[in-house]
Amino acid sequence: MRELKIGILQQHNVADTKTNTERLAEGIAGLAHRGAELIVLQELHNSLYFCQTENVENFDLAEPIPGPSTDFYGNLARELGVVIIASLFEKRAPGLYHNTAVVIEKDGSIAGRYRKMHIPDDPAYYEKFYFTPGDLGFHPVDTSVGRLGVLVCWDQWYPEAARLMALQGAEILVYPTAIGYESSDTDEEKQRQREAWTTVMRGHAVANGLPVVAVNRVGYEPDPSGQTGGIRFWGSSFVAGPQGELLFRACDKDEEHTVVPVDLDHSEQVRRWWPFLRDRRIDEYGAMIKRFID
């Protein structure tokens, strides 16, 4: 069995970025000391989720890659001997910004990056105002702990993204995330949304015969404009095996720091039982590249 110990940091953020990064550093160190080899952080973890409003001053939160945050998390990775998946607000050039996941190797170097491809634009999730859609495509990142198919949040609803990562040899799918409850929804609707979020990614695990890791924010963050009731991020970070089985699921209210062992070799056996890649009708899928088929 080729076991990978995955560290999950489900954290509540505050307005002060220094406090957030210091707490993240403590959490990373704690997980490393508990044996984690790969540590996954939530989406845009250095700050509050600033996309609740459209405010040009928020662009001051962006930074280049490489830059201060990759140096900070790179030093932690090197000191602790772990691979870290960080999620940053990338300033590529003046007026050009991305929502970017960075994979940092055990020696502190940048193993690769992924720029979020699917960008939402919903009430309280005004990401199109801030982020240019990614232009690096869907490509796994090779690391010392395996080939990682890293995607970001809204990407998790798209089976095409997961499939393209799997077709290029990804051994695990990883989703840093920021998603939560809208205050005016009923309790029943809130739970339907949370379960749909979990279910669609478990489906990606099954369809591709790969483990899936999703790490979400948790806790309440107010709307600075006061126009909505803010977002209560629903946590529920989880790890699923290649048959969609839940190996771990965090609660929806509290912070959790957890190490979850995953058997990467099990995917081979599952794909022998369920050879979905063998039976794909690639000769008939050409219409998939159309927006809609009239």
Catalytic residue among 91, 116, 127, 221: 116
- Predicted pLDDT at 216: 98
The mean predicted confidence, pLDDT, of the chain is: 97
- Residue 199: inside a domain: yes
Task: Kindly report the pTM of this predicted structure.
Answer: 0.97
Q: How many domains does the chain have?
A: 1
- Predicted pLDDT at 188: 96
- Residue 294: inside a domain: no
- Predicted pLDDT at 126: 97
CB 114 within 8 A of CB 128: no
Determine whether 116 is an active site residue: yes
pLDDT interval class at 153 (50, 70, 90): very high
Determine whether 251 is an active site residue: no
- Predicted pLDDT at 3: 97
CB 87 within 8 A of CB 101: yes
Strands lying side by side in the sheet with 238-240: 141-143, 146-150, 172-177, 212-216, 238-240, 246-249
Distances (CA, A) of 268 to 82, 131, 263, 264, 282: 25, 37, 10, 8, 21
Pair of tokens at residue 141: 């990142």
Listed residue (5, 51, 47, 49) closest to 24, CA to CA: 47
CA distance 266 to 71: 35
Pair of tokens at residue 3: 């076991």
Distances (CA, A) of 89 to 63, 109, 132, 218: 6, 19, 11, 19
- 3 state DSSP class of 235: coil
Query: What's the whole-number mean pLDDT along residues 37-43?
Result: 98
| Structural domain boundaries enclosing 228 | 3-289
CB-facing half-sphere around the CA of 166: CA atoms within 13 A: 22
pLDDT of residue 183 exceeding 90: no
Q: What is the CATH number of the domain that holds 222?
A: 3.60.110.10
Could you report the per-residue pLDDT of 125-149, keeping only the tens digit for each? 999 999 999 999 999 999 999 999 9
- Predicted pLDDT at 293: 94
The CA-based dihedral angle spanning residues 260, 263, 269, 275, taken in that order and rounded to the nearest 10 degrees: 50
- Predicted pLDDT at 227: 87
Could you report the per-residue pLDDT of 232-261, keeping only the tens digit for each? 999 999 999 999 999 999 999 999 999 999
pLDDT of residue 1 exceeding 90: no
- Residue 200: inside a domain: yes
3-state SS track over 177-228:
ECCEEECCCCHHHHHHHHHHHHHHHHHHHHHHCCCEEEEECEEEECCCCCCC
Catalytic residue among 5, 90, 153, 221: 153
Query: What's the whole-number mean pLDDT along residues 97-118?
Result: 98
